């Protein structure tokens, strides 16, 4: 596309059955926000659209489990997600929700248009039915074994292990998520979008038209789908939560969530346009509009095949120019999991790291899973903050501002003759807007973020090489030139950092006496292109303000708290998943009475030589003091067990272990985290030798 007249940018609608975590941010929302902020800074007409996806089966499951209504669930999480985005600086023009009346109207209208045009196929099919729950089982109400990869926990719409899109009837050994029952097949009527009918269009539009400009991971997944042969896809579901099917025969059915959800972009745009007094249609129907969808890789098929097919079939809408989907972000080497609480939740981060939104934005951009899955670790988070944001970016700005206030009371000095190093440095600064823009426009945000940091590195190197703190003692005029050049770099950073570090950019502009609103402050506002075109970003005699720290060092203790939090989640998951050993064969009372179990006290303990697991214990059983060899050395030291009251099986036949005769057994159990625990009587007046029966 040549230079677009306007941009419509969408970010995947987050699902309102839980809050936002860093995987969502890295995959979708941070890159989308960088792109939009850049477009605004370069003077483009852009609308950034989002909203909450509030329909579908997972919400009804969560509501059922919590004993509340689906509306209660979506209201709760819509509020949390919306506030998290606002606090994190995701600069939507409109953030709506699919439960809004305007969305129900828009989705129903598009369905009816396609229905009236004969674009749907009506079929009576056999669907899985839970006899115990007396209802058809929509995709997420069914789990079973994936026929492609063998994952035994695949859902009825998609296997989250291999990414294969499924129908519930494809699953091997399906079972109901409602009751655990094996479902039966029962006939029901639904409407389908015949994707096979549009296969020729999709091949021409994507496989030929976007072979060179779409990301390889996106193009590859779409090509795989098309090469496998497209099949009709159901657009309705037997469910009572969602948008009712608006045609005759649709009673008791709703629009399939992935038919209704992407239409949420359109309804949210309508909501924005109505509020702002604009016409929404050019943003969705004018061929000079560039439409870009930011999504994660699990949504590629819906945004690249199903939604475009819907728009093409409707006839009046434009198609996406690009769908720069990212891969997945892992956490500390493990897959992010909402259900297992293996995540860094945005609303919790904002509380635990107040004022440090940009640190997370920077780290997630630096580790963005743009072409393959990537990993977030708290140690890397700390290192990038301390070694890059603090030591490079923050250090450069602090030195420039402190020295300018020290030498010139905060007034930008007039430079004398520029030396070659000054001219080369200023020329390099002017090149950065195009360098960073090139990366952003190709959706290489990680690369763009590193180029921004390279500009800060340039500033640090310039100061380190020119040493104004030394030169000021011998050449006042040269010092003025050095500080003037350094201030131009600082001003460039204040503008070029805005897409990546919006809170830092705003703070830096205030320090430098720059403002966004030119109408209020004369010519002190800067846009993206000014950095390469203006002679001086901070003119001579301009007054700057006092220094403030842009970033602060993150200490080891802070990071350890986060690691401890994750470790607690891991242990809780292990405890929840730990299986109880089944009951052993039944014994008679006479069998039990043969066991002589007594209270004892460990009076001596030593490590068994050359044995990792064994302690040699002297135990006062009340009958005698005897030797017992116990395999507890990996859980307890010899010193800490002396004086411990224990439960002892005293009439166990002696046996030799590594040459030491053991005359009994200490009774132990194991905690949920795998640690050995003594089975012991805690009452203080229980004496050695008492029998346990």
Q: Quick one: average pLDDT of 555-565?
A: 96
pTM: 0.83
pLDDT confidence of residue 520: 37
pLDDT tens figures, 200-219: 999 999 999 999 999 999 99
pLDDT tens figures, 580-637: 667 888 888 888 888 999 998 999 999 988 888 899 999 999 899 999 999 898 888 9
Strands (E), 464-570: none
pLDDT tens figures, 167-184: 888 899 999 988 889 999
pLDDT tens figures, 427-469: 999 999 999 999 999 999 999 999 999 999 999 999 999 999 9
Instruction: Write the DSSP symbol of residue 3.
Output: S
Q: What pairs with residue 652 in β-bridges? A: none
Sequence-distant (6+) residues with CB within 8 A of 46 are 6, 7, 8, 9, 36, 39, 40
Could you give the CA distance from residue 146 to residue 273 in angstroms, rounded to a whole number? 44
Strands (E), 194-265: 233-234, 236-238, 253-255
335, two tokens: 């897959």
What CA–CA distances, in Å, run from 482 to 399, 414, 468, 475? 12, 10, 7, 11
Least confident of 305-319, 389-403, 539-553, 560-574: 560-574
pLDDT confidence of residue 519: 39
Give the pLDDT band (50/70/90) at residue 147. Answer: very high
Could you give the CA distance from residue 643 to residue 179 in angstroms, rounded to a whole number? 51
Q: What pairs with residue 492 in β-bridges? A: none
Could you give the CA distance from residue 223 to residue 41 in angstroms, rounded to a whole number? 35
Q: Which domains does the chain have, with CATH numbers?
A: 6-110+257-335 (3.40.50.620), 117-238 (2.170.220.10), 377-533 (1.10.730.10), 589-692 (2.40.50.140)
Q: What pairs with residue 627 in β-bridges? A: 618
290, two tokens: 């560039």
pLDDT tens figures, 243-261: 999 999 999 899 999 899 9
pLDDT tens figures, 71-120: 999 999 999 999 999 999 999 999 999 999 999 999 999 999 999 999 99
Could you give the CA distance from residue 177 to residue 154 in angstroms, rounded to a whole number? 11
pLDDT tens figures, 51-62: 999 998 889 888
Could you give the CA distance from residue 153 to residue 170 in angstroms, rounded to a whole number? 13
Tell me the pLDDT of the chain averaged across its residues.
Answer: 92
pLDDT confidence of residue 578: 64
Using the predicted structure, report yes or no on whether residue 682 has a pLDDT greater than 70: no
In 3D, which of 661, 612, 666 has the Cα closest to residue 641? 666
Contact criterion met (CB below 8 Å) for 325 and 301? no
Give the pLDDT band (50/70/90) at residue 226. Answer: very high
């Amino acid at each position: 596309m040549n230079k677009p007249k306007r941009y419509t940018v969408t970010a995947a609608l987050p699902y309102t059955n839980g809050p936002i975590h860093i995987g969502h941010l890295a995959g979708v929302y941070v890159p989308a926000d960088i792109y939009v902020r850049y477009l605004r800074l370069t003077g483009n007409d852009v609308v950034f659209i989002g909203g909450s996806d509030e329909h579908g089966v997972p919400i009804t499951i969560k509501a059922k489990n919590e004993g509340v209504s689906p509306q209660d669930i979506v209201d709760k999480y819509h509020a949390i997600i919306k506030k998290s985005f606002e606090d994190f600086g995701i600069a939507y023009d409109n953030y709506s929700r699919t439960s809004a009346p305007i969305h129900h109207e828009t989705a129903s209208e598009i369905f009816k248009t396609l229905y009236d045009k004969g674009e749907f196929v009506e079929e009576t099919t056999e669907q899985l039915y839970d006899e115990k729950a007396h209802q058809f089982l929509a995709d997420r109400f069914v789990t079973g074994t994936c026929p492609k990869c063998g994952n035994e926990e695949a859902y009825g719409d998609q296997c989250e292990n291999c990414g294969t899109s499924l129908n519930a009837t494809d699953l091997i050994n399906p079972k109901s998520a409602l009751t655990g029952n094996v479902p039966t097949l029962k006939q029901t009527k639904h409407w389908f979008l015949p994707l096979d009918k549009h296969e020729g269009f999709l091949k021409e539009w994507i496989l030929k038209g976007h072979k060179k400009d779409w990301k390889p991971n996106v193009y590859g997944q779409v090509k795989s789908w098309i090469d496998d042969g497209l099949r009709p896809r159901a657009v309705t579901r037997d469910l009572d939560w969602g948008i009712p099917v608006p045609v005759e025969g649709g009673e008791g059915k709703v629009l399939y969530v992935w038919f209704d959800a992407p239409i949420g972009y359109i309804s949210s745009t309508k909501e924005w346009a109505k509020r702002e007094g604009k016409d929404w249609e050019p943003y969705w129907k004018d061929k000079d509009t560039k439409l870009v969808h930011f999504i994660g890789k699990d949504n590629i098929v819906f945004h690249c095949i199903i939604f475009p097919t819907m728009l093409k079939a409707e006839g009046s809408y434009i198609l996406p120019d690009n769908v720069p989907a990212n891969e997945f972000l892992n956490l500390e080497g493990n897959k992010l999991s909402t259900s297992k609480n293996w995540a860094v939740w945005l609303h919790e981060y904002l509380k635990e790291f107040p004022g440090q939104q940009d640190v997370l934005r920077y780290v997630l951009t630096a580790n963005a899973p743009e072409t393959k899955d990537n990993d977030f670790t708290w140690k890397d988070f700390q290192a990038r903050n301390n070694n890059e944001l603090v030591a490079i970016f923050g250090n450069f700005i602090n030195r420039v501002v402190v020295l300018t206030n020290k030498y010139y009371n905060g007034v930008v000095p007039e430079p004398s003759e520029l030396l070659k190093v000054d001219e080369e440095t200023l020329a390099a600064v002017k090149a950065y807007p195009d360098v960073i823009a090139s990366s952003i426009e190709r959706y290489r945000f990680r690369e763009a973020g590193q180029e921004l940091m390279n500009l800060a590195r340039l500033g640090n190197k310039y100061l380190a090489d020119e040493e104004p703190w030394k030169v000021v003692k011998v050449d006042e005029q040269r010092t003025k030139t050095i500080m003037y050049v350094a201030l131009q770099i600082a001003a460039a950073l204040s503008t070029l950092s805005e897409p990546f570090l919006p809170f830092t950019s705003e703070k830096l502009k205030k320090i430098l006496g720059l403002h966004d609103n030119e109408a209020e402050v004369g010519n002190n506002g800067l846009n993206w292109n000014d950095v390469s075109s203006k002679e001086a970003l901070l003119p001579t005699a301009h007054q700057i303000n006092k220094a403030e720290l842009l970033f602060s060092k993150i200490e080891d203790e802070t990071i350890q708290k986060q690691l401890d939090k994750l470790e607690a989640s891991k242990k809780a998951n292990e405890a929840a998943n730990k299986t109880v050993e089944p009951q052993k064969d039944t014994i008679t009372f006479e069998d039990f009475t043969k066991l002589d179990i007594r209270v004892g006290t460990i009076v001596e303990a030593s490590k068994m030589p050359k044995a990792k697991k064994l302690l040699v214990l002297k135990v006062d059983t009340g009958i005698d003091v005897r030797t017992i060899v116990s395999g507890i050395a990996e859980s307890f030291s010899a010193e800490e067990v002396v004086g411990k009251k224990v439960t002892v099986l005293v009439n166990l036949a002696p046996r030799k272990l590594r040459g030491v005769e053991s005359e009994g057994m200490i009774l132990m159990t194991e905690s949920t985290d795998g640690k050995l625990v003594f089975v012991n009587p805690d009452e203080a007046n229980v004496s050695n030798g008492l029998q346990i029966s």
